[in-house]
Amino acid sequence: MKFDIVTIFPRMIRGGLEEGVVARAADRGLLDVAVHDLRDFTTDRHRTVDDMPYGGGPGMVMKPEPLVRALASIRDSRGVPSTVVVLSPQGKPFTQADAVRLSALPHVALLCGRYEGIDERLRELVDVEEISIGDYVLSGGELAALVVIDAVGRLVPGVVGDAESVVAESFSRGLLDYPHYTRPAVFEGLAVPDVLVSGHHAEVQRWRKRQALVRTFERRPELLAGAALDDEERQWLEDLQKTHRG
Ligand code: ADE
């Protein structure tokens, strides 16, 4: 899978991709990541990427021309991206479902916004999807792009060694993950739950399933409406709701 990232801080992106799962996948040729410095697509001596906002107000706005040129260059040298993502707090909230959807595409371009935002006309000239990684304002889209590349890249077949762990993990069924334990069996007087050392596989599975549901109920109840629950889980949930109501 190909990623192209357009940014005014290429070192920030490269640094973020130097280590970890995505870095190894790039080394193995599973992910092809190219980083483009937006300033390389300016035409003036100062390599200007921003300008004052029409109508006044604070901050600067990213000029559309360098971004459009960067995208044209990507198309010429790397092929037409399947989708162009703009990272901004005005975007649709990024979810695991988006990560799954994007991971099935062969080529994703990511534009990192800076300053007060990008000239609105870019969105009219280029078909883009705008993504936010959460309801807070970062100083730029770079960290958000790294988040998206990580979440998407690790879903590409072969990138994560243990495919089962990707399928079983948090959010894949719309629930939070169950609690995990490793050795020692007793740490600071705290023992690992008996069921996990019982060797009883079916009981372990059932305990985990229940823990995932209870956790989601306690921490993120709004997720339950969209979760795929089986009969047993629905029964547990009813009981939890009854107990909760008192
Ligand atoms: N750029 C600034 N804040 C952002 C956010 N929350 N998500 C994506 N891009 C951003």
Tell me, yes or no, whether 106 and 186 share the same domain: no
Q: Is 133 in the pocket of ligand 1 (CB under 6 A)?
A: yes
Q: What is the pTM of this model?
A: 0.94
| The predicted structure's pLDDT at residue 4 | 98
Q: Indicate whether 168 pLDDT > 60.
A: no
pLDDT tens digit string along 186-204?
999 999 999 999 999 999 9
pLDDT tens digit string along 29-42?
999 999 999 999 99
pLDDT tens digit string along 104-120?
999 999 999 988 899 99
Tell me, yes or no, whether 237 and 213 share the same domain: yes
| The predicted structure's pLDDT at residue 169 | 67
At residue 50, the 3 state secondary structure works out as strand
| Among protein residues, the one whose CA lies closest to atom 9 of ligand 1 | 88
Tell me, yes or no, whether 203 and 143 share the same domain: no
Residue pair 148/102 in contact (Cβ under 8 Å)? The answer is yes
| Among protein residues, the one whose CA lies closest to atom 5 of ligand 1 | 89
Tell whether 132 is covered by a domain: yes
Cα separation values, 5 from 36, 140, 191, Å: 6, 13, 47
H or E stretch covering 129: strand 128-132
CATH number assigned to the domain comprising residue 189: 1.10.1270.20
Sequence-ordered list of residues with C-beta below 8 angstroms from that of 166, at least 6 positions apart, any chain? 154, 155, 160, 172
Domain count, the chain: 2
Residue pair 146/16 in contact (Cβ under 8 Å)? The answer is yes
39: containing domain = 2-153
Give 55-61 contacts, CB < 8 A, sequence gap 24+. Answer: 57/116, 58/116, 59/115, 59/116, 60/115, 60/116, 61/115, 61/116, 61/117, 61/118, 61/119
Q: Indicate whether 153 pLDDT > 80.
A: yes
Tell whether 161 is covered by a domain: no
Q: Which of 137, 142, 150 to mutate to test the pocket of ligand 1 (most atoms within 8 A of CB)?
A: 137
